[in-house]
Amino acid sequence: MSKIKANQTFEEIKHIDESGVEFWLARELQVILQYKEWRNFSKVIDTAKIACKISQHEISDHFVEVNKTVAVPVGEQFGTRGFVEVNKTPKAKKIKDYKLTRYACYLIVMNGDPRKEVIALGQTYFAVKTRQQEFSELYARLSEDDKRLFLRGDIKQKNMLLAEAAKNAGIITSLEYATFQDYGYRGLYNGETALDIAERKGLDLETQSILDYMGGLELAANLFRIAQTEDVMRKNNVATPKEANATHYRIGRSIRNQMQEVGATMPEQLPLPDKSIQEIESEKKKLLKGKKD
């Protein structure tokens, strides 16, 4: 096993056992969390175990004690006659270690010394990951209509950020912004513009938004396109309309290529939903009104 370095990331020291289950070793986690002494780190582990018990999880399910045998070289020592004896034969020594689940690592980090920068960063990392997990579980329970409402709302927010990035790149007029949007659609939809998509769906682009007539999978692909384009434009300081258009097309095309690689249905082949976003919202409002009455 290669030597663990302090600048390695949490995911880089992850192990997978023969059953495909992920785990971490406490001794390796100790290094990247910058605890020099095991005795200090073991105190954090003990506190994490208590937190595990309080949260009504079995400690043994998350903290599996394992013993390692390591070689300890023996140097010069005083013998019984008072002179130095040299023993070059290494001795074997057993040390304690733990196989940790992701939850155990989370508890250790959350109970670590927050004055350490790496601990503070770790706490932020786990807070984000926990939120992502909660979101994934919540999203999985939503109906198709609710997923569409959720994604459409998120797209509205992300489109505001994208419009700001486009403005910073010199895209000012409505026509320029429509052209910029078309570059993204063309990349994702294999050359189709917003007008092409609207005509294929049987929509009037002047009165109906194509985003309101997309299913959950199609909305998710477009949300990814919008979010990634805004992020890349901001990070790369895209400053001209030409560069902005090229960036939007490139990201749209890249997402399409990824979908092809995994065998996903192409966005232009996804079915037209039975209801628009406005119709779903209207039904939800009526349902809420009925509950109040």
Please report, for the chain, the start and end positions of each structural domain, with discontinuous segments joined by +. 11-138, 144-283
For range 169-181, the mean pLDDT:
97
Q: What does the pLDDT look like over 58-68, one tens digit per residue?
A: 999 999 999 87
Say if pTM beats, i.e. exceeds, 0.85.
no
Cα 10 from chain centroid (whole Å) = 13
Q: Which residue has the tokens 């940790």?
A: 100
The count of C-alpha atoms lying within 13 angstroms of the C-alpha of 122, restricted to the half-sphere facing its C-beta, is: 26
Q: Does 114 or 144 have the greater pLDDT score?
A: 144
* Residue type for position 214: M
Residue 220's nearest CA partner among 255, 179, 183, 168 is: 255
Q: Which residues, 6+ apart, have CB-to-CB distance to 205 below 8 Å? A: 194, 195, 198
For range 91-109, the mean pLDDT:
88
Q: What does the pLDDT look like over 223-279, one tens digit per residue?
A: 999 999 999 999 999 999 999 999 999 999 999 999 999 899 999 999 999 999 999
**Are 164 and 244 contacting, i.e. CB atoms less than 8 angstroms apart?**
no
Q: What is the dihedral of CA 197, 202, 203, 204, to 10 degrees?
A: 110
Q: What does the pLDDT look like over 12-64, one tens digit per residue?
A: 899 999 999 999 999 999 999 999 999 999 999 999 999 888 888 899 999 99
89 sits in the region (left: phi over 0; alpha: psi -120 to 50; else beta) called beta
pLDDT value for 72: 58
Q: What does the pLDDT look like over 73-90, one tens digit per residue?
A: 555 444 444 444 455 555
Distance CA 108, CA 287 (A): 45
For range 181-201, the mean pLDDT:
97
Indicate the angle between helix axes 144-168 and 216-235, nearest 10 degrees. Answer: 20
Q: What does the pLDDT look like over 118-169, one tens digit per residue?
A: 888 888 778 767 766 766 777 778 889 988 998 998 899 899 999 999 999 9
Q: Which residue has the tokens 């706490």?
A: 123
